[in-house]
Structure formats: C-alpha cells, structure tokens
Amino acid sequence: MASDKTPSSDRDTAAEWVARMDSGNWSEADEAALQGWLTADPRRHGLLLQTQAAWMLPDVVHEPEVTEVPAHANDTRGKWMRRGVLGGMVAACATALVSFRVGFSQDAEFVTRVGEIRRVPLDDGSIMTINSGSELKVSLSRKAREIELLQGEAWFDVAKDAERPFIVASGPVRARAVGTAFSVRKREEGVEVLVTEGVVETWSDQDASRRLTIVAGERAVIKERALVHYREGDTTPVDRALAWRNGMIDLNGTTLREAADEFNRYNQRQIVIADPEIAGEQFDGLFKLDDPEGFAQTLKVTLPVAINTSDPSTIRVERTSESGLLK
C-alpha cells in the first residue's frame, strides 16, 4: 500500500514495471526479476497493485501503435498526473513502450498471483484485464480469437473484427462478442458474465440450443442446468462489480461473508467471520482492495464487533461479548 513513507525509488520502480508489462514484451526473466523485487519488501505488492490500477484508468488515451518515449523525456510524469491517483509518482523508465497493438500472436498462458491485476494487450487490438488469482489461455488465429478461463476472472475490451469471432470459454460455458466489452468470472455455482458495452451471446455446450443475449448493464450466471439472467436496467451494478479494475471493492448491500470473500481474493492475510450470526449482516462502502485491515476497522466502528489481529495470517471479526445477537 503506497503512502507518504513509501520510498520514491520504489514508486518509480513500480511505475517502470507496469510500463514494461503493458508493452507486451514480457519474458520469464522479467517475471523472475519482478518476483525478486516484490519479495524484498512486502509493501511493494500493494504499491504495484495501486500502480497497475492507476495505469488502467480509462481517462488515459494510448497511442494505437508502438510508441517509444523520446530520449529527451526524463520521465512519464504527464501520464501519471493525468491519472490523478498516485500523485507525484514518476516513471523512471524513459524508453517504456505503450501500445494496444503489441501483444501475443500465438498461444499464450497467463497466471496472476493473489493480489496481482494484470493488463495485457493482444495483437488484434483487444485488451485483457486479468483479476487476482486467475489463470487463462489465449489462442489467436486467422479465423478465431479464443480465450479459455481456467479460474478467476478477466475483463475483455474486444477490438472489432467480424471475420474472427471472440469467444471466452470456461468449462462448458461460452460467451461470444464482436466489438464489445465484458467480463467473465468462474464461480463455484456457475460462470458469471457482465457486459459493460455492446452485446454478448452466451450459452452452455451442454445445451447449445438455449442461448442468451446480454446487453450493456446486464449480467447472467450460467449454471450447469440453468441460465439466470439479471436485467439491471443501468450500468451501475455492473460497474460496481468491476471496481477491481481500478483497485477498489465496491460494497452495496453486500453481506459480511461475501465482503470477506472479496477481500480474500486479493490478500494473503485472510478475513475470517468467526460468528455465523454476523456473517449475514449487510454492509456498504468503497474500499481499497489491498486494505483488509482498513475494512475491518470500519466494521469495528460500524457494528458491535471486535477485531482480533493476533494471528498475522488472519483478521478475525467477532461479536463483542456484551453485544448479544446482532439485530
């Protein structure tokens, strides 16, 4: 988590790492070097996550082709200040490449660690934003663009190409789009599809005759034997569910159990709701996804609960002994 105490050199290095990831030229050596840098200081995980979130904000316009920062440019201050998130962060890498077009033209596999959000440009012009703890495979050919989501979640900003359908598969579930933006999340109870722009067609190979069309602002959960369609009527619920793209968790009438599950997706230190009678309490708020401690402290001042942090691997949320049952 970045703060005023974060060394400026770490902030600059985090900006450099994110710029290198975005270039599409990422190697095993780069991955090993990044892991070494992260391991040296646990605070760097949160810093890198915030930097990635800043880089992904939609108010920044990227060049459509490979652009090299001129040699006389000492930093990328303008890009970071326009994002308005990590004030004062300066990218130290003066030759970072920023592109939508450089990417992966052959089969590739991507895995994100807990707490890592990765933005990946594909060579067809599409963009993948991969959530924490996810794994997927990409196969781009002249006739099709196919993504297999093995676990986790990803959001896709799909470049228009009517000759090459863009299909995301998760188990038997398929989601097909041409020139749109949507996310796919693999859940225990099924596969969730949320559409932020355009139209997506989804179905299960177990019954391909039953197909569902989802438009912007709507979502669907495709289960083994059922299609559950939610017609939201506007994009707000979908945008809230995808707040992770900007490094946030947006809770709106969410139960404490569900909120804990969301925070646990992004953090090694896990939130434990110790009493099932408080797990169903609902909660609202907007939180940094790498700050479970801040969320727990907010619970402490909002509900009659106690926070136990004696175990460095967990944050236990318990009823206070004098509170009795929550109402």
- Does residue 88 lie within any of the structural domains? yes
In the block, which residue shows the tokens 């130290």? Answer: 92
172: amino acid identity, one letter: P
Beta bridge pairs of residue 199: 215
Do residue 107 and residue 240 come from a single domain? yes
Do residue 107 and residue 237 come from a single domain? yes
- Residues in Cβ contact with 77 at an 8 Å cutoff, skipping those fewer than 6 apart: 90, 91
Do residue 113 and residue 80 come from a single domain? no
pLDDT tens across 1-40, in order?
A: 444 455 668 888 888 888 777 665 677 778 788 888 888 8
Report the alpha-carbon distance of residue 137 to residue 274 in Å, rounded: 37
| CA dist list (Å): 280 to 37, 92, 111, 263, 293 | 40, 47, 32, 16, 20
Three-class secondary structure of residue 169 per DSSP = strand
Contact 290, 51 (CB under 8 A): no
Structure tokens at 279: 């797990």
Q: Write down which residue in 102, 136, 152 finishes a domain.
A: 102
Report the alpha-carbon distance of residue 183 to residue 244 in Å, rounded: 12
* Structural domain boundaries, residue 117: 103-244
Q: Write down which residue in 226, 244, 262 finishes a domain.
A: 244
Do residue 121 and residue 192 come from a single domain? yes
Report the alpha-carbon distance of residue 283 to residue 285 in Å, rounded: 7
Return the pLDDT at 140.
92
In 3D space, the residue among 82, 5, 15 whose CA is nearest the CA of residue 51 turns out to be 15
| CA dist list (Å): 142 to 58, 65, 158 | 29, 20, 16
Distance, C-alpha 35 to centroid of its chain? 19
How far the first Cα of the chain sits from its last, in Å, is 35
Residues with pLDDT less than 50, the chain? 1-4, 58-105, 323-327
> For the chain, how many structural domains are there in total?
3
- Does residue 122 lie within any of the structural domains? yes
Report the alpha-carbon distance of residue 35 to residue 29 in Å, rounded: 10
Contact 98, 76 (CB under 8 A): no
Return the pLDDT at 152.
97
Report the alpha-carbon distance of residue 51 to residue 12 in Å, rounded: 10
Return the pLDDT at 55.
64
Distance, C-alpha 175 to centroid of its chain? 19
- Does residue 327 lie within any of the structural domains? no
Do residue 285 and residue 267 come from a single domain? yes
Does the predicted model carry a pTM greater than 0.75? no
pLDDT tens across 287-324, in order?
A: 999 999 999 999 999 888 999 999 999 999 998 865 44
